[in-house]
A and B are shown apart, each in its own frame.
Chain A
Amino acid sequence: MSLLEVEHITQHFGGLCAVSDFSLRLEPGELVGLIGPNGAGKTTVFNIMTGVYRPTSGRIHLDGEDLVGLSPSAIHARGLARTFQNIRLFKKMTVLDNVRLARYARLGYNPLEALFHVGRFRAEELKILEHARSLLALFHLEDAAGERAENLPYGLQRKLEIIRALASQPRILLLDEPAAGMNPPEIEELMAFIQRIRKEFALTILLIEHQMRLVMGICDRLVVLDFGATIAEGLPHEIQKHPQVLQAYLGVEVGE
């Protein structure tokens, strides 16, 4: 059985069919790229997987458990963490608090303990403080811990968003255009970064990306989406030559 099984997902918005009959399997440890032209429905797939939208039909199984209908926070608690196309950090919160927030669900104390700072509160808070600190240290961000997230340079904000997702110790990481707005050297660095976290955190990663350089460089497998439907699936070098993909991207007629 695969780690994640997305089966026949269809999503209608009024008359618009954003995703139609989309299926995807993720094996543990895989790094899969989800590519496709703008408006193909890639981010919608992420939104469905993370519980922002409830699909019109279809099922999503994580380790055999159905995720459809669960709230975003419940899905997050089951090990699916994500980043966003346009960075969505908590801008006015510190770097440290951005990371600590992601462990909200893992903090085992109740409101009463929080109101009086008693019971499990101190031990639990100390635990996540250490965890967040070591996570930041791992990526050389510990000195920026007290800085507001909005004051970080763009590249670091992207990185912090990934660290925030890692903080919850997810099994599957969904990256939505992590390389957006980066120049080639930065992309090189990002690729190394993704490879690194994949190994160190034993992650299964699904990423949306437009930068072919990145996708071809690190993905084990690619899924191509166009008009909400899967048009191709396979190894990166196969996809590069796939006629339907060329048509979708370049407008080349099939068979020409």
Chain B
Amino acid sequence: MVYFLQQTLNALQLGSLYALIALGYTMVYGILRLINFAHGDLFMVGAFAAFGIAAWLGWPFVPTLLLSMAAVAALGVLIERLAYKPLRQAPKMSAVITALGVGIFLEHLMLVFNPYPRHMPELMPVHLWTVGRLSLSSHQVLIIGLSLVLMLILDWVVMRTKLGLAMRAIAWNGRIVPLMGVPVNRVISATFAMGAALGAAAGTLYAMAYPVIDPYMGVLVGWKAFIAAVVGGIGNVRGAVLGGFILAGVEIGVAAFLPTTYRDFISFGLLLVLLVVRPHGLLGRPRLEKV
């Protein structure tokens, strides 16, 4: 029982991080129908930004987090403007390939300056509470709590604000919305900024929880988050969160019974099975083609 609770906590922590990253994938996909393969690397840049700020400026947690989020948001918008926007009318695969290229570019640019893994300095002291054999660290509370707050803010923005309304409208039908006076470019930029900021938050939190960071860290975590977004139904904000927690639950569950090397095998297998059974994900809506 204690073991189960402990694993549940771990799953919640991992799930929060997956969900934060998955949100970035799903928002961009919802609005542009583009799998932003570079998103996992924005997460990595977020972690490195936090590392840089903490190591060289020595700032504490809150300003570090905010600056990292702001910087990566700017980077996300910049990438969109320079690399994706000119391709909006081009065949869709051009944009997807560009996204792959941007991802590799970010990874290796970072690798030039960080050829060896970096050790993240401690942003705040870790408290460890133990109840019987169950232990809970302040980092876990912070990660889960902060992720939930960010997700709630995002949900509020998407569901309750004018910007969110415009986002949902573009996701629904991107051709008509500009005719109604919605500043599409600004909405798209805002989407990228929000997605990237959430990715950076995840990166910062991740670096606190697992303090050895390297430029390739975004690859596998990014793909996992992407799976989470697909499992939940890509394009669906709540689905991304659901998918993140499900994936984390499965991974932690697998790791509890099998050698950890099976973890990726099972999670990707799960993805395949789900795609065959329910191609549009758990909360996604199938798109019908008109003949």
Contact = CB atoms under 8 A, between A and B. Distances in A.
B269 to A, nearest CB: 30
Contacts of B291: 43, 47, 52, 84
Contacts of A47: 291
Nearest to A46: B291
Helix, strand, loop or mixed for chain B's interface?
loop
A242 to B, nearest CB: 29
A244 B291 CA distance: 29
Contacts of A43: 291
Interface residues of A, number: 4
Contacts of A84: 291
Interface in A76-135: 84
Nearest to B289: A52
A47 B291 CA distance: 8
B91 to A, nearest CB: 10
A84 B291 CA distance: 8
Contacts of A52: 291
B170 to A, nearest CB: 24
A13 to B, nearest CB: 9
Interface string A9-53: 000000000000000000000000000000000010001000010
Interface string A156-188: 000000000000000000000000000000000
A138 B291 CA distance: 29
A218 B93 CA distance: 45
A84 B290 CA distance: 11
A67 B68 CA distance: 62
Interface in B251-291: 291
Nearest to A43: B291
Nearest to A13: B288
Nearest to A85: B291
B215 to A, nearest CB: 39
Nearest to A47: B291
Nearest to A176: B291
Nearest to B288: A13
A43 B290 CA distance: 10
A14 to B, nearest CB: 11
4 contacts: A43-B291, A47-B291, A52-B291, A84-B291
Interface of A: 43, 47, 52, 84
Interface of B: 291
Q: Closest 4 interchain pairs by CB?
A: A52-B291, A47-B291, A43-B291, A84-B291
